[in-house]
Amino acid sequence: MQNRYALDKDPIFYVTVACFALLATGLPAMLGQPRFLPILQAVALTIFLAIPLRQGNLKGALTVIFLWLALSMLLLGTLTLFFSGQMERAFEGGFLHRAAISEWYYAEATLPASFQAQPVARIIEIAGIVLGSLLTWGLVGAWFLMRLANLAAFSAGSLLLTLQNPFLIVIALPIWSVLQIVGGGGLVALLAEPLVRGNLAAGVQRLFAERRVALMLFGGLFVVGILFELVLPGFWHFA
């Protein structure tokens, strides 16, 4: 018997995901659309994420979300390096955020968009990633995740412009941002699965029974990233 064709097993599917990640990120960013950017990313990502999740293919779903995050962040960071003025328009208060990032790094001011600077907004963000993923097929969670990733990429590109050394990306993109994005990405994929597969209650039970290790791993990375953000920014100065 021939094997049944599965879209989420086809390499062309992941090539398509990559193309849409670049298109959904690059187009609104270059047009300077701060609201449309994360909306378009979240809608497209949710659609692609649902395809492997409907088949119970968590590996495929994680591949989708991390491929999307890697390409979109790489593109935004690169665009910021070459078109910094245009990228400022793609983020609300982009010019002020760039200035605040430099002030934090060189003058030891408060890290912008952090828990210390915006505690209520960050708590809402965490709730959005967790509950939003669970209750909306991952759509709201993806929106909060993309806002987090986009701002991290923009901040990294902005700081690299002042550091003038692309190899210092490990400094410009701090460890707490990486951990939160990786942990948040995994949580979005995991928590979207119950509703995508059709039964929230049974899906949540299956999540804790079958996906417990993955849930603890990505949840742990997310929490450690938050804790690092509370402690490390005051010491994260290497220039």
Q: Is residue 183 part of a domain?
A: yes
Q: Is residue 171 part of a domain?
A: yes
Determine the residue type at 49: L
pLDDT tens for 125-147 read 999 999 999 999 999 999 999 99
Q: Is residue 167 part of a domain?
A: yes
pLDDT tens for 21-34 read 999 999 999 999 99
Q: What is the total count of domains within the chain?
A: 1
Helix, coil or strand: residue 112: coil
Give 3-state DSSP helix, strand, coil % of the chain, rounded to 5: 80, 0, 20
Write out the residue range of the structural domain in which residue 107 sits. 7-235
Q: What's the pLDDT band for 1 if we cut at 50, 70, 90?
A: very low
Stretch among 21-25, 160-164, 189-193 having the lowest mean pLDDT: 160-164
Which one-letter DSSP state was computed for residue 232?
Answer: S
Q: Is residue 201 part of a domain?
A: yes
Q: What's the pLDDT band for 164 if we cut at 50, 70, 90?
A: confident
Q: Is residue 1 part of a domain?
A: no
- Residue 5 has a pLDDT of 73
d(CA 129, CA 116): 19
pTM above 0.85, yes or no: yes
